Amino acid sequence: MSNTFNDYCGRIAREIPKARDNDDTGFLVKPSPAQLRNYCEILYQTGLNAADLKTFKSFFQIPQGEDDVLKFIKNIDIDKFRPVKNYLEGSIKIPSLHVVEMTAILIKFKQRPYSNFKSILTDKEIISNIETVNEEEPEEVTELNVNEISARKSNYKKLGLISLVGVLVLFFGIYGFNRYRDSYTKVNCMQWTKDHYEIVDCDKTSQHGFVIQNSIELYNSDLFKLKKVNVNGKTVFFKNDKAVIYYSKLNDSVIECYNLPGFHPITGKPLRPITNYMIKKYIKNKE
């Protein structure tokens, strides 16, 4: 079966400490959002392959046909790198797809992106099975006449051929099943739209005409429940003395409220538990 997104995150998480230990750039040892942005500038200027460039354009929300990629990297809000920083430091448990893919580039994970990782290990397992069959040695033959030896060799060839055919059938069977399954589970990504996540096709572009839409992320059942909520003085903010509403400051006079903790779906800033001080300052005083 194909490797899952959790497998991908796990492999990258295990590679992060190695990458930080072997880092000779100084950007990963004690990463900050500004340092990570600067590192991306360097990586772009030294050259990216097609897959990495696609990840950059998605992460930095670069319009289709735009050539001045460096301009978007330099002008991005560095807070967008905060989830990447947190993932590198191991403090984020549910990273989004574009955060994981950017991290994979920064630590130079060889099996990136996820679309490649899903199939490459599965193929290796199948190849390993084929090699195991080919490595099987026939039993030692002693004191047999020429006809018996010839018969034995013929049988071994037939057995090897049958085994190889069986493995190939298994390979194409698995491949066909995955293609069949994928054709019926093609919609397995999500995109933030106004105040909630919506299911979208993973192949959908992040741009509609001249409008750049929010990044497309791999479907996550926990993140999918996140919703922006409209609040007022009558809203229930606490249950059993614990906050049930979480907020993110947009500026000195405006906050946005959400129903779950986590990170702001656009800026990447952490969503903090609401407090009586924030309720009084930003909500009740506005009514």
Largest distance between two CA atoms of the chain: 102
pLDDT, position 184: 46
pLDDT, position 251: 86
Mean pLDDT confidence for 33-59: 89
pLDDT, position 270: 85
Strands of the sheet containing 255-258, edge to edge, are: 228-229, 255-258, 246-249, 270-273, 262-263
Mean pLDDT confidence for 38-43: 90
Query: Does residue 257 or residue 119 have the better pLDDT?
Result: 257
**Are residue 74 and residue 173 in the same domain, yes or no?**
no
**Are residue 84 and residue 149 in the same domain, yes or no?**
no
pLDDT, position 210: 42
**Are residue 194 and residue 178 in the same domain, yes or no?**
no
pLDDT, position 230: 93
Residue 249 lies in a domain: yes
Residue listed under structure tokens 């606490």: 238
Q: Is residue 211 predicted with pLDDT exceeding 50?
A: no
Residue 125 lies in a domain: no
Burial category of 94 from C-beta neighbours within 10 Å (exposed 0-12, middle 13-18, buried 19 and up): middle
**Are residue 95 and residue 27 in the same domain, yes or no?**
yes
Write out pLDDT tens, residues 252-277.
Answer: 889 999 999 888 888 878 889 999 99
Q: What Rg value do the Cα atoms of the chain yield, rounded?
A: 26
Provide the pairing of β-strand 255-258 with 246-249: antiparallel
pLDDT-derived band at 6, boundaries 50, 70, 90: confident
**Are residue 80 and residue 36 in the same domain, yes or no?**
yes
Q: Which domain holds residue 84?
A: 5-114
| CA–CA distance, 12 with 116 (Å, rounded to integer) | 14
Q: How many CA atoms within 13 Å lie on the side-chain side of 243?
A: 17
**Are residue 194 and residue 260 in the same domain, yes or no?**
yes
Query: Does residue 248 or residue 211 have the better pLDDT?
Result: 248
| CA–CA distance, 149 with 101 (Å, rounded to integer) | 57
Amino acid 241 reads: D
**Are residue 72 and residue 159 in the same domain, yes or no?**
no
pLDDT, position 259: 94
Q: Is residue 164 predicted with pLDDT exceeding 50?
A: yes
**Are residue 150 and residue 219 in the same domain, yes or no?**
no
Residue 260 lies in a domain: yes
pLDDT, position 250: 86
pLDDT, position 153: 60
**Are residue 230 and residue 276 in the same domain, yes or no?**
yes
Residue 61 lies in a domain: yes
Residue 193 lies in a domain: yes
Mean pLDDT of the chain: 79
How many separate domains does the chain show?
Answer: 3
Residue 168 lies in a domain: yes
**Are residue 15 and residue 82 in the same domain, yes or no?**
yes
| CA–CA distance, 142 with 148 (Å, rounded to integer) | 10
| CA–CA distance, 237 with 228 (Å, rounded to integer) | 14
Residue 94 lies in a domain: yes
